[in-house]
Amino acid sequence: MAHLMTTVDAYLARIGAERPDVLDLDALARLQHAHLVAVPFENLDVFHRVPVSVDQDAVLAKIVSGRGGWCFENNGAFAWLLEQLGFRVMRIGAAVLADGPNTVIDHHTIEVQLDTAYLVDVGFGDSFSRPLDLNRAGPQNGGKAPFEFIASPQGTTLAEHEDGVPIAKFRFKRVAHDLADFAGASQRLYDDAEAHWRRWPFATRLLGDGTDRVTLLADRLRLRRGDVTEETEIAEADWNDALWEWFRMRPPV
């Protein structure tokens, strides 16, 4: 028990958050936002061919030590933290729809039960930054844009409204999974030489209290502040310095 408490305290310190006194929607929203600011969505291990894991202890150690990761790591760790704080959590598998129709689970997201069920996610890059009510019809505020759940016989689709048009992001069924259940999906994506995870390095996180964001790509730095997005070219020789300046990380190799 003492070890768990130490890990929880270290995790909260990592994301700059306090242990909530009340397990309500406000507390959940604060934790999600704090995580999105402090812990980047990044692929450095995958890009540099450093082995990744869905072992719970390994995932926690990586995040608490100052790194970020992809969905299996960021959401894998965050779901654990929420559980340890006392939230009722269900890990969900989803099929990402960014490249068109897909029925294969390749994303780990999280359902949290409060007065109603909410979807939270800290491992999907530039996406919603506050809990979304799974039982609410129509668009709802997701931070950067309205988001909407669309039900079908195939499952529930999360759609982001872009210029008023709902764009499907991923589809899921509300079925409980263990973190270990994502081992196959993690390895499959890790091994896919054509996937963007393998082709270029990136890191992205929120900035401050709103929806401002910094994203470091292979050859440029993108800063979004309000409605204005600026891009700056980053030479290969300066990439590691930019990674440290904006994310306080070094490449793993």
Catalytic member of 45, 106, 121, 126: 121
Q: What is the pLDDT of residue 1?
A: 52
From 33, 35, 107, 108, active-site residue: 107
Checking if the pLDDT of 115 tops 80, the result is yes
- Residue 34's identity, in one-letter code, is A
Those residues whose C-beta lies under 8 Å from the C-beta of residue 90, and which sit 6 or more positions away, are: 110, 111, 112, 113, 174, 176
**Residue in the block written with tokens 């799974």:** 134
What residues have CB less than 8 Å from 54, skipping those under 6 apart?
A: 72, 73, 76, 179, 180, 182, 183, 186
Residue 196 falls in the annotated catalytic set: no
Identify the active-site residue in 71, 106, 108, 126: 71
Q: Look up 107 and say whether it is catalytic.
A: yes
Query: What structural domains does the chain harbor?
Result: 2-247 (3.30.2140.20)
Give the global pTM. 0.95
CB 188 within 8 A of CB 105: no
pLDDT in tens, 166-210: 999 999 999 999 999 999 999 999 999 888 899 999 999 999 988
Active site residue 71: yes
